[in-house]
Amino acid sequence: QKKKRQQQQQQRQQQNTVSAMVSTAEKKKAIRSSTEWGTGTPTILNNNNNNKKKSNGTTTTATTSDNGNKKKKKKSKYSHEKPPPKMMRLLYQAIHCFDMLSNGDRLLLGLSGGKDSLSLLHGLLELQRQLPIQFDLHVCTIDPQMKDSYDPSSLQDYMKTTFPKVPYHYVTSDILSRATIQNPSSLCSYCARMKRGILYATAREQKCNKLVLAQHLDDAAETFFMTLLHNGMLRTMKANYCVVNDDDTNHNLSVIRPLIFCRERDTTQFAQQPALQQHLIAENCPACFEEPKERARVKKLLHREESLFPHFYDNIRTGLIPLMHDDMTAILRSYSDEIHAKGKKENNPIYQQRRKEREEEQPPPPETKEEQTTSDAAAAADKEQQQQQHQKKKQAALAEQLSDEILLRELARRKANRYRLVGAMKSTSSQQQQNQEDAVVCTKDGANGTIRCYELME
């Protein structure tokens, strides 16, 4: 009995595993038995496997009753291509980390026809379908009138046929002729500034509050190394920052970069699809592609480092996240300005003290005769007043400390010394000296003392 029970359990387990392995797609396929191979029509199995009907030489079909109850997939609003899951995950992450989108936003996407802007267009349309918030999307293309090197006119037909419900703005501006007149130092930077100004103006005309640009992580890393090596600053592209309008502060414009966490190879791989590849616009601008540029050199440097360290760009993304914030540039600049100010000689206390000492040691500048005479007279008068005041203070201090007898003796000694130096007190004969020695001595009070009376009389 135990053996029979074990055999029954094993049979049940085998049946369960076989039924679980058969998927719903395989159940819909036509299955034929080995005896009926090549004869009759195939038998279609339903989900319950209860409607099989066999006959000699012929078989009947059984249709499923659940086809009408299947849920229909939600169709997208636009016929766009869905980006790969990795790219969409990085888009979600960047938008969530930097608060790029909110309900009721009006976005203006700068579409140049390259792989990055086209990938971002399809990514935003997919976000518009999936996210619970609602936002409007406008697209703008700028034609700089460079027909030989860059002609985006084919994008007009592409946008009308593929995305007829998306508002599209095609702006033409003869940037090259303006550059020849103004003769800027860098044609590439001049063209970029002019295009950015046109995008700002178009966004304000269409009442869009956010401008969407298609720079990715590779662009942010190249910008960081270029500013560090050539400008000595820690700065890169901002993920979300505000452009203040001086004319109307209530309608400021925000610039967002949703691809800031995506790699360039992700957009390149997505743009290689046949539906997108035939609409890519090749850029051959002489200012950007014919001459060797510093950005291309930095790109090669980073590519070489990535070949040695596979997680090179992941570490760069982690390190650049604080610098992508809008306030970080002002904070770092304030710290650097404070340190540079302390390092200057003018703000060094030791240097200031030495400078004062040098100024005191140096003679004053020469003056005119009139100024010199007036200044000398004023200086002499001030000096005399100071000396008199000093003497009075000194005498008052001595008078408080010494007795009357000592004061009188000191007064007589000073007078005698003064007359001796000047010559007013003439030398006397021996008789006069004897009389002087026998003279009466007295003090201020009239009592006996040590000072002779004739000295006091003098």
- Give the type of residue at 17: T
Please state, in angstroms and rounded to a whole number, the distance separating the CA atoms of residues 44 and 59: 10
| Mean per-residue pLDDT over the chain, rounded | 77
Please state, in angstroms and rounded to a whole number, the distance separating the CA atoms of residues 11 and 238: 65
Q: Is residue 333 very low, low, confident or very high in pLDDT (cuts 50, 70, 90)?
A: confident
Condensed to tens digits (0 to 9), the pLDDT of residues 124-135 reads 999 999 999 999
Place of tokens 């935003």: 124
For residue 18, is pLDDT > 90? no
How is 271-290 classified by DSSP, letter by letter? HTSHHHHTTPPPP--IIIII
Q: Is residue 423 very low, low, confident or very high in pLDDT (cuts 50, 70, 90)?
A: low
Higher-confidence position of 246 and 2: 2
DSSP 8-state symbol, 258: G
Higher-confidence position of 57 and 393: 393
Stretch among 191-195, 351-355, 438-442 having the lowest mean pLDDT: 438-442
pLDDT at 48: 43
DSSP 8-state symbol, 211: E
Condensed to tens digits (0 to 9), the pLDDT of residues 142-174 reads 988 877 778 888 899 999 999 989 999 999 988
Stretch among 32-46, 158-172, 190-204, 235-249 having the lowest mean pLDDT: 32-46
